[in-house]
Structure 1
Amino acid sequence: MLFAGVRPGGHAFNPVVCAWAGAGSPRRAEAWLWKAMEGGLKPSKAALEKTLAAYASADGEGLDRMKRLMTSLGSWPKAWATAIISKPYAAAGDFGSVEQMLEELQAAGEAPDASCFKVLLMAYARGPRTLDARVEVCLERLWALKTLWTKQEEAEVLGDARRALGKERYDQLARKLGLRTPPRITGERHSRARVVGTWHEIHPAE
């Protein structure tokens, strides 16, 4: 397009960014983000989201660059971005880091959305079983913000709550909130220990 003298617009750049991010090449996706900005274009949310997600599982330095880039665009902090960055910490049961990021989000005047509380609940499910009050508050806030999601997504969210609370406490809360979808607990989602940083199997129904 450039060779032909055609000035590419956002509809040209954004799919390229998304394609590289989806292919697991966040650095190339980031390079195209900068090319778009150099051309006076603002990347789409989808382009930023996919690049951020690609970096979140692979490159801490890349995440820092993405934060700076999004800050310059006026797109940081955002609830959806915080949820993406929090996921690796949640997967390791590091609920303290997730809580801190949500506090920073609120301090910046942004309210956490449902995706943030889903990630926090995921962190609690993999953390120590001494957080019942926090888990209950998180699930109640999540349920108050409940958006349209599939039955499978709902079952997985409730599975995290069930994993974090144990059967008796979860059943009490389910009756209180009127939760009817059976929680889904699988070895794949709940195989990590409650001690942060360990990976050995724990029985998913514990």
Structure 2
Amino acid sequence: VVILAVVVAAAVVAVVVVVVVVVVVVVVVVVVVVVVVAVAVVVILAVVVAAVVVVVVAACSIVVKGTVLVVVVVVVVIVIVVVIVVLVVVVVVVVKVAIVVVVVVTVVVIVVVVVVVVVVVVVVVVVVVVVVVTLVVVVVVVVVEVVVVVVEVVVVVVVVLTVVIVVVVVVVVVVVVVVVVVVAVVVVVVVVVVVSSSSGSSSKLNND
């Protein structure tokens, strides 16, 4: 269980580190893209302004009539406005794309983290359930074996005690029978001896 907890903690830490690295990389890439686009816009705008200034100066030096100068200035202003509008649209598109990329990456990272956490939790729960069930089965098997052994020992003890009691009873009965027989034999012998002695004494007295 301790090893499992360590493995799970290491997996979670690894996932968090990967998520942080991915988010940092995405943010850095987005920032770099925005900065590059901004620099590009500034450079293009500076080039356009410089070109417009050059054109205006050239037009003013070459064209003398006011009408032509006004036309040139209007064209230059229109060009500047168009360039600025295009650059603004480009910047807006780039920013929108960057926002979409950040949102998508964030959602993907969140989904990955949630999936990993769910998988880790499921694995931990399954392992814990398997360990608990295994321990319960082992305990039940051990208890059953102990009960069986105790029952066998009790049966053996009962059988041995029964045999001992039977043997003791038989021995006692045999001893009692033997004693009775011996006593009977002794009594018979004594009676016979007494009777014989009495008969002998009576015969001798009669003869005298």
TM range (shorter): under 0.3
State the structure with more CA Rg.
Answer: 2
Structure with larger RCO (C-alpha < 8 A, sep 6+): 2
More helix by share: 2
User: TM-score, length-normalised on structure 1?
Assistant: 0.17
